[in-house]
Amino acid sequence: METGFKKWIIVVTIITSTIIELIDTTIVNVSINTMSGNLGASLEDTAWVITSYAIANVIVIPMTSFLAEKIGRKQYYIGSILLFTLASAFCGFSNNLWELVAFRFFQGIGGGALLSTSQSILFETFPPKQRATASGIFSLGIIIGPSIGPVMGGYIVDNLSWQWIFYVNIPIGLLAALLSFIYLKPTQKSTDKRSIDWLGIFLLAVGVGALQVVLERGQTDDWFSATYIIVLTIVSILSLATLIWWELKIPFPVINLRVLKSATLSISAIMTFVLGFGLFGNVFVFPLFSQRIIGYSAFQTGTMLLPGTLVAAMISPFLGRILQSGVRPQYLIVLGFGLSAVFGYMMSGSNLETGSAYFFLPLIFRGLSAALLIVPLTALAVSDLKPAEIPQGAALNNMMRQMGGSFGIALINTYIAHRETANRTALITHVTASDSQTILRQQSLVGNFMVHGSTYLRATQQAIGALERTVVRQTFLLSYMDAFLLLAILNACCIPLVVLTIKKRAVAKAGKVTIPDAH
């Protein structure tokens, strides 16, 4: 435990490291078009810049407990910051797409380690009675990072160049590494001579990596119409099934799956998966909706997300204190899922004339729900574990949040594509040559275009084009509304799970939970 100035220097360092890691999960999204043009690559190929980072994240997160123990937590943490920073520099220096993809993978290896190890160091910095507050502070990074990524990305692309998306990490990373070296207390690496679970590491990397590629690229390549998607799906299923069998068989696995015998952790992991689904799904859907339908720029979209993010950031530390006072986490979780459902429901009622003021309240609800879910779920997930099981349980919980985000983006993207087909089919049945409303609308458009100098033939063609654009916009609008409603239903369905399936013993202990170490 630390006190005074040193403690708060560590807090600032840890939160900064967490934020820059999570910013990099979303900051690249708004610059894909620019990268594609500058590197002379297709949009589909350029998307691997996002995919490679996500793959590295989900591979390394469940191994952080094992690696920190073997290397020493301080050494592993500083090494991860330096790897992240160095890889960021080389991302900016890249001369072609595949160099950039490779360096993004190494950036993800370093960044994935920062998430869980930061949590562990932060909890160790605070005394046990203040660790619920530490949980709230840690949640700041998880909430702020993904939300401000698009704002920063949009501003940088508009005013500098895409390389600066990576260069901005360099001074921050170097400062974080220096402060960590000076202020973090030394930790010893494990002297245990037990053998390393190389097979488990291999199966984890192959299984999770293949699954992540399928999720990231499935919709782009029409899922199982692509041979490589079929092959990777089979590889993922076989690898993960073998991993589960192997990790439960050996005495010292790289991932201790036995902790999932805890019903509290298992149920919390499911809810954390849904949290990741909704958190990253909302960050994915809303920018697309606002830019594609409403016509906002990437920077304008990001600024709309900021008020909700700031509200969440302000209340997160207080939620930790509320938990420490004895309030059951379940109450906050139910409220969080409820507000998230309200956000989705309100967004599903938007239309083409909806102004920016309408989005203020639902986006505030979105920010509040993120804070109300992240802070108590962090506490509840490990509340029923033995001390020796806590680091692995926390790491698995972090992985479930990241995987939930990957599944969320992949499935929502697919759902939107399917709804676009269905909604367009439904709309064009009403746009026919025999439909009276269509005839009147077309005649009005023809007259308007002729007033502005078009011939009758040209005006008729322009009117047909205008009707087609209207159908396309309405199709997109209805499809995004369907996606928001799906998110609302999914969050609402989690409320009974919280109320009915948490064991009474876990509920009783949750109010007195001590936020533990996590790696």
From the candidate CATH numbers 3.40.50.2000, 3.40.50.1100, 3.40.50.300, 1.20.1250.20, the one assigned to the domain spanning 1-195? 1.20.1250.20
pLDDT for position 194:
62
End-to-end alpha-carbon separation of the chain, Å?
17
H helical segments located in 190-262? 198-217, 227-249
Using the structure block, give the residue that is written with the tokens 């507000």: 339
Q: How confident is the model at residue 197 (pLDDT cuts 50, 70, 90)?
A: confident
pLDDT at 516: 45
pLDDT tens digits for 349-399?
A: 887 777 778 888 998 998 888 888 887 887 777 777 776 677 777 778 778
Confidence of residue 274 (pLDDT cuts 50, 70, 90): confident
Express each pLDDT in 24-74 by its tens digit. Answer: 777 777 677 678 778 887 766 777 787 788 778 878 888 887 788 778 878
Q: What is the DSSP string of 29-72?
A: GGGHHHHHHHHT--HHHHTHHHHHHHHHHHHHGGGHHHHHHHH-
List of residues 6+ apart from 110 with CB closer than 8 A: 79, 80, 81, 82, 83, 84, 85, 87
Select from 322, 41, 9 the least CA-distant residue to 176: 9
Looking at mean pLDDT, say which of 277-281, 313-317, 341-345 comes out highest. Answer: 341-345
DSSP state of 225: G
Find out whether 491 and 337 touch, Cβ atoms under 8 Å.
yes
Between CA 390 and CA 393, with CA 392 as vertex, the angle to 5 degrees is 60
What six digits make up the tokens of 38?
A: 């500058």
Is this prediction's pTM over 0.85? no
pLDDT, tens digit, for every residue of 220-265? 777 788 888 899 999 999 998 998 888 888 877 777 777 777 777 7
Q: Which helix (H) or strand (E) holds 372?
A: helix 356-381
Q: What percentage of the chain reaches a pLDDT higher than 90? A: 8
Quick: pLDDT tens for 198-228.
Answer: 888 888 888 888 887 787 777 777 778 888 8
Count helices and strands (H / E) in the chain: 20, 0
Please compute the mean of the pLDDT values over residues 281-307 and round it to a whole number.
77
Taking only Cα atoms into account, the Rg of the chain, rounded to an integer number of angstroms, comes to 24
Query: What is the structure's pLDDT at 132?
Result: 65
Find out whether 433 and 443 touch, Cβ atoms under 8 Å: no
Length of the chain in terms of residues written: 519
Assign 144 a pLDDT band (cuts: 50, 70, 90). Answer: confident
> For residues 453 and 459, what is the distance between their CA atoms, to the nearest angstrom?
9
d(CA 28, CA 47): 9
Q: 343 versus 120: which is more confidently predicted?
A: 343
Q: Give CA–CA dist 74/68, Å, rounded.
A: 8
What the block records as the tokens of 216 is 């990231």
**Which one, of 293, 346, 357, lies nearest residue 488 by Cα?**
346
DSSP helix/strand/coil, 358: helix
Mean pLDDT lowest among 228-237, 477-486, 492-501: 492-501
Highest mean pLDDT among 98-107, 241-250, 431-440, 493-502: 98-107
* Residue-wise pLDDT tens digits, 394-434: 778 778 887 787 777 778 878 888 888 888 888 787 776 66
Exposed/middle/buried for residue 72 (C-beta within 10 Å: 0-12, 13-18, 19+): middle
Instruction: Give the 3-state secondary structure of 411-454.
Output: HHHHHHHHHHHHHHHHHHCCCCCCCHHHHHHHHHHHHHHHHCCC
Distance CA 368, CA 421 (A): 34
Residue 269 pLDDT > 70: yes
Percent of the chain at pLDDT exceeding 70? 88
Question: pLDDT tens, 453-480?
Answer: 778 788 888 787 877 777 788 888 888 8
